[in-house]
Amino acid sequence: MKPNIQSDHLILFTQVAQLGSLSRASLLNNIPVSTISRRLASLEGQIGYQLLTRNTKGIQVTEIGNEILRYGKSINNELESLSAFLAHKNDEPHGVLRVSMPATTSASIITDIIHSYKKLCPEVTIDLRMTDRFVDPRIEEYDIVFNYVINEPLKDSSLIAKRIVTPKTILVCSNTFEQNIQTAEDLNQVKCVSTLERNTKYITWQLQKGETNIIVSPKPSVVVNNLDAVKSAILNGYGIGRLVVTSCAEELANGELVQVLEDWDVSSWDVYLMYPSRKHLPAKTQKFIELMSFIAQDRYYE
């Protein structure tokens, strides 16, 4: 009958034998000497041999104990190698990073994210999927989920939502679009190009000037679930639309686009990164979160 040996007891025996003292092993493991004695006695009972003797010189390893010690040292060495391997893997991003993003995201942003992350973490494979539906990273096993709107604070502690930025947006139209907007209320009668937020039926924009707030509902001319397509439709003169400032800076500078109601601030959306709550995030995920925070603030938003 094979003995049922507890590996943690064998490791403890190896430490005692190498240190030559129960008290030193006690300090190393932060457990009482009496506990060590009980575990060693249990190990000897499992093996069926005495492994240690005590005399005036301290702890002495028996002949069979020295044979067992070889196996204990081997296990210790393997565990140290495993620890070193895991430390390296934790420090060096690797594996597959699964990311979900809203379909509205522009191609230029996606390209920049992929290029920047692959430059930082060349050994990681990026699996990026686009969708308009709500994605729960715990259920669908995504590492990161981008979400542009979160209506309520998360109540589930197993999921983290990290807001990385709120972009600066403005209302613009093509220089060929005929519009005579004098007040914010006039927007209720104008044609617009827009995305439609999840679980909503109507397009609404909230504007603010000083203490004045107003919500308008422009008439949709083109509704599309991609910001690149929104910008293209605006440039083609199909209506007024809301764009992130930095995404249309070039067209504003060369006169292709014109800002509408410059003295009004236009409501924007929060950009969140959602991911499962863990004590130790994988390096691939941590690097992505850090990079996205930098990109969001540095390149796209004011």
For position 118, what pLDDT does the model report? Answer: 92
Is 86 within 8 Å of 49 (Cβ atoms)? no
Verify that 78 and 144 share a domain, yes or no: no
- Which domain does 194 fall in, by range? 169-266
pLDDT in tens, 176-208: 987 788 888 989 999 999 887 665 677 888 899
User: Of the given ranges (109-113, 126-130, 135-139, 257-261), which has the lowest mean pLDDT?
Assistant: 135-139
- Same domain flag for 69 and 28: yes
Specify if 147 maps to a domain. Answer: yes
Output the pLDDT for position 259: 93
Q: What is the pLDDT of residue 234?
A: 94
- Whole-angstrom distance, CA of residue 183 vs CA of residue 175: 19
Residue 251 belongs to some domain of the structure: yes
125: left (phi over 0), alpha (psi -120 to 50) or beta: beta
Task: Name which of 34, 1, 14, 35 is nearest 78 in CA terms.
Answer: 14
Contact at 8 Å (CB) between 240 and 260? yes
Tokens of 168: 């600066």
Whether 74 and 141 share a structural domain = no
pLDDT the model gives residue 7: 83
Question: What pLDDT, on a 0 to 100 scale, did the predictor assign at position 156?
Answer: 58
- Rounded to two decimals, the pTM is 0.62
153 has pLDDT over 60: no
CB 59, CB 36: distance < 8 Å: no
Q: Which residue has the tokens 């009980």?
A: 38
Please check whether residues 280 and 150 belong to one and the same domain.
yes
The verdict on residue 1 lying in a domain is: no
Residue 34 placed within a domain: yes
pLDDT in tens, 258-270: 999 999 999 888 8
Asked if the model's pLDDT at residue 279 lies above 70, the reply is no
- The dihedral of CA 86, 90, 92, 96: what is its sign? positive
Query: CA 46, 49, 55: angle at the middle one, nearest 5?
Result: 120
HEC string of 209-234 equals ECCEEEEECCEEEEECCCHHHHHHHH
Same domain, 111 and 34: no
In a domain, 25, yes or no: yes
Report which of residues 237 and 279 the model is more confident about: 237
User: Is 239 a member of any domain?
Assistant: yes
Residue 185 resides in a domain: yes
pLDDT (average), residues 222-249: 90
Assigned domain for 2 exists: no
Q: Verify that 56 and 198 share a domain, yes or no.
A: no
Provide the number of structural domains found in the chain.
3
